[in-house]
């Protein structure tokens, strides 16, 4: 349903960059205010050449900021990002997109973006060929991996006279996107969620380790999903090159022992714990202090068991805390997953089988089944890890409200 005041009380920080579509900002601000939102505007210097700050300050009833400092006083970019419920960058030019992807900070809008703790959504605007350029698509993918949302471009007449994809979404469609976003996002508001992700590395000596192929992508996608639904998220992540979402507390760890310590500290406060990390089951009994030199004889490593983090949390879980485990299996999948659910005292277990093509480590897709302690079973198709994360979080939310 679309109605008046659907955005009542929402604080929207509108970032405007240098694109001809900036002329639509006036209509966008009017629409946002009509829908009940409070709007503040930051612009890039290029943005001010397409639409006058005076027009926008009049419409938004707030000062429009476009300099990092003005009259020798510094614009507080940190507070702006904290003030907002969402930062909407519309139009997003290809230049600002590239800066967001690379983390460049050469104007106020970029300083606000980089220091924002709120969610960020962008509405790109560019010419068709620019839009289709691989670098643009790679940058979009990159900022999506940081947890930013993209409002798709629309098809139509472009500034160049060409007709094709690249037009910024119409203001009413942007407002509809925001209304939809705010109508469901807050089902994890005030919930503290901790998530473990990625592999652990167990040191053999200062230069070598035993690890595994986990990329951490599944746990990162879950962290992103929980964050976008209003949770206070702590992500405890082993070594990975995957991009981290914005606006979460990130605890970087290396070994299973580090991950255990960080998990115990975070679990005290957590309402929900999702244990998606591929934790080493064994560690080196006595890692060498210096690099081990090769010799002609064979080498034997003595491995000792690590503590099972999920099981440890299962043993100390208090009433009201929800514990979600994962099971990665190659055979007797369901049977093994159910054993783990029971032996580790989890509330739910998410099974992925390495026998399913596209599931498991390193891929951008996954195929899961969920089993819960009440004996219910849910099976899902192969999906992107982002969609799988939404399925898992939906289950968590349903349990909370059951
Ligand atoms: N897990 C953990 N700490 C460990 C080992 C596993 O917290 N030391 C957690 C994982 O994060 C996952 C679940 O336990 O949520 C199951 O992990 P998995 O690797 O599938 O199984 P294991 O319990 O290690 O058993 P096995 O390797 O024998 O299958």
Q: How many domains does the chain have?
A: 2
* pLDDT one-digit tens code per residue, 365-391: 889 999 999 999 999 999 988 889 999
- Ligand 1 pocket member 361 (CB < 6 A): no
CA–CA gap between residue 262 and residue 283 (Å, rounded): 17
Contact call for residues 237 and 219 (beta carbons, < 8 A): yes
* Residue 1: predicted pLDDT: 43
Same domain for 392 and 247: yes
* Residue 159: predicted pLDDT: 76
Q: Compute the average pLDDT of residues 57-75.
A: 81
Same domain for 360 and 220: yes
With CA atoms as reference, report the closest residue to 274 among 212, 372, 343, 346.
346
Q: Is the pLDDT of residue 128 over 70?
A: yes
Quote the ligand 1 centre to 280 CA distance (angstroms): 8
Contact call for residues 188 and 231 (beta carbons, < 8 A): yes
Same domain for 367 and 221: yes
- Ligand 1 pocket member 273 (CB < 6 A): no
With CA atoms as reference, report the closest residue to 238 among 218, 258, 221, 224.
258
Same domain for 240 and 171: no
Q: Compute the average pLDDT of residues 181-205.
A: 91
Same domain for 261 and 390: yes
Q: Of the listed 62, 212, 345, 394, which one is catalytic?
A: 212
Is 173 a catalytic site residue? Answer: no
Counting from 1 in the atom list of ligand 1, the atom nearest the Cα of 263 is 7
- Ligand 1 pocket member 214 (CB < 6 A): no
Q: What percent of the chain has pLDDT over 90?
A: 73
- Ligand 1 pocket member 306 (CB < 6 A): yes
Angle ∠(373,379,385) on CA atoms, nearest 5: 105
Same domain for 244 and 104: no
Instruction: Produce one character per residue of 267-288: b if its CB has 16 or more CB atoms within 10 Å, e if not.
Output: beebbbbbbbbbbbeebbeebe
- Ligand 1 pocket member 281 (CB < 6 A): yes
Domain boundary at 139, 164, 184, which? 184
With CA atoms as reference, report the closest residue to 14 among 40, 44, 45.
40
Same domain for 121 and 69: yes
* Residue 2: predicted pLDDT: 46
Mean of per-residue pLDDT scores for the chain? 92
Same domain for 201 and 155: no
Same domain for 215 and 79: no
Domain that holds residue 139: 2-184
Same domain for 115 and 55: yes
Counting from 1 in the atom list of ligand 1, the atom nearest the Cα of 327 is 20
Q: Domain of 155: which CATH number? A: 3.40.50.1950
């Amino acid at each position: 349903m679309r109605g008046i005041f659907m955005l009542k009380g929402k604080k929207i920080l509108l970032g405007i960059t240098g694109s001809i579509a900036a002329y639509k900002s006036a209509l966008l601000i009017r629409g946002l205010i009509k829908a009940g939102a409070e709007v503040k505007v930051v612009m890039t210097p290029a943005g001010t050449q397409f639409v006058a700050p005076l027009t926008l300050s009049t419409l938004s009833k707030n000062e429009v900021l476009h300099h990092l400092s003005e009259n020798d006083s510094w614009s507080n970019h940190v507070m702006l990002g904290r003030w907002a419920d969402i930062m909407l960058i519309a139009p997003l030019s290809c230049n600002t997109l590239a800066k967001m992807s690379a983390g460049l900070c050469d104007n106020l809008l970029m300083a606000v973006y980089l220091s924002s703790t709120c969610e960020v959504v962008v509405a790109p605007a560019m010419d068709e060929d620019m839009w289709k350029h691989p670098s643009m698509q790679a940058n979009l993918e990159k900022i999506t991996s940081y947890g930013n949302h993209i409002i798709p471009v629309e098809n139509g007449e472009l500034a160049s006279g060409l007709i094709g994809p690249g037009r910024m979404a119409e203001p009413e469609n942007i407002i509809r996107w925001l209304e939809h976003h705010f109508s469901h996002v807050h089902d994890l508001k005030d919930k503290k969620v901790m998530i473990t992700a990625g592999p652990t590395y167990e040191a053999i000596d200062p230069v070598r380790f035993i690890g595994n192929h986990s990329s951490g992508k599944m746990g990162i996608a879950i962290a992103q999903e929980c964050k976008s639904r209003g949770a206070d998220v702590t992500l405890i992540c082993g070594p990975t090159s995957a991009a981290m979402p914005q606006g979460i507390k990130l605890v970087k760890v290396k070994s299973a022992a580090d991950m255990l310590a960080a998990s115990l500290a975070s679990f005290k406060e957590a309402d929900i714990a999702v244990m998606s990390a591929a934790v080493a089951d064994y560690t080196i009994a006595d890692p060498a202090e210096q690099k081990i030199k090769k010799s002609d004889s064979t080498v034997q490593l003595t491995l000792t068991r690590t503590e099972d983090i999920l099981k440890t949390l299962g043993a100390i879980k208090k009433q009201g805390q929800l514990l979600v485990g994962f099971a990665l299996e190659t055979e007797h999948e369901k049977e093994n997953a159910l054993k783990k659910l029971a032996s580790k005292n989890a509330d739910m277990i998410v099974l992925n089988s390495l026998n399913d093509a596209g599931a498991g480590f390193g891929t951008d897709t996954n195929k899961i089944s969920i089993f819960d302690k009440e004996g219910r079973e849910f099976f899902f198709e192969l999906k992107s890890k982002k969609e799988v994360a939404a399925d898992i979080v939906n289950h968590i939310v349903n349990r909370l409200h059951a």
